[in-house]
Amino acid sequence: MFPIKVLNRDVMDKGDFVRIEYVGRLESGEIFDVTSEEEAKKNNVYNKGIKYRPIPVIVDSGVVIKGLDNALKDMSPGEKRTVDIQPEDAFGQRDQRLVRVVPRKAFRERNIEPVPGMIVDFSGVKGRIQSASAGRVMVDFNNPLAGKPLKYELEVKERIENPDDKIKAVFEFFGIDKTAVKIENKTLDVETVRLPVELKDRISSLIIDHINGIEKVRFLETYEKSNPEKKIAEE
């Protein structure tokens, strides 16, 4: 008999911090998300307003869709894989109850002229206008990717090991690059710009739950008197 060779793969585990690159496509091949500037330009979807870079994620923490989490738990640093994800493990099935009629008056009050295809925001919930008539507007509050199978070309760039780098990675995931942090007596003090309460709650939970040695997070926000001359110079 031939000897059985056991591969010792350094696969990810729940709670691991990693950086990933990906290209997300619909069944048609259309790209809906990409992390690499090179890939974006190669596929003619480059947007100069987007900051392209590998994304830091915490495996199996809910910061990415379930299908990506499941794939990451069986991958190693440096590995590439194409992953097919069904709607139930992506952005869910479409819910017709989320297609709602909104009185046109609600748009007039916001000084908005509703146009089909326009993205609107009602109390933090985004929707896409489907149609607009004289008295009412049909708005779809489903995620645009709901009900669609997705394909990801996924790569694990690296595992993040250092606690300080893990802290920075949490803020980076939410697009916050400028922070100053200090850890003392199991408390993390964060000096940053003003953030919404919901975002601070989410960041704090991720740090406390996934970074050893931190039991409390305090946000130290700075408020400054406005400088009209500086504002005019910036404009």
pLDDT values of the chain reduced to their tens digit, one per residue, 235 residues:
445 444 445 788 899 999 999 999 999 999 999 999 999 999 999 999 999 999 999 999 999 999 999 999 999 999 999 999 999 999 999 999 999 999 999 898 889 999 999 999 887 889 999 999 888 999 999 999 999 999 999 999 999 999 999 999 999 999 998 889 999 999 999 998 788 999 999 999 999 999 999 999 999 887 777 665 554 444 4
Cα dihedral across residues 29, 30, 36, 38: positive or negative: positive
Helix 197-210 and helix 163-173, axial crossing angle in degrees, nearest 10:
150
Distance CA 112, CA 189 (A): 41
> Is 124 strand, coil or helix?
coil
Tokens 């509050």 -> residue: 141
The predicted pLDDT at position 6 comes to 42
95 is written with which tokens? 């819910």
Q: With b meaning 16 or more CB within 10 Å and e meaning fewer, what string describes 102-131?
A: bebeebeeeeeebeeeeebeeeeeebbbee
**pTM of the prediction?**
0.80
Say which DSSP state 19 is in: E
Q: Which amino acid is at 189?
A: D
Length of the chain in residues, anyone? 235
Which of 75, 81, 83, 39 lies closest to 57 in space, CA to CA? 75
Long-range pairs of 125-132 with CB within 8 A, sequence gap ≥ 24 = 127/98, 127/100, 130/99, 132/104
Contact 174, 164 (CB under 8 A): no
Alpha carbon of 22 to those of 6, 54, 77, 82, 161: distances in Å? 29, 8, 14, 9, 21
The predicted pLDDT at position 77 comes to 94
Contact 149, 87 (CB under 8 A): yes
The predicted pLDDT at position 2 comes to 47
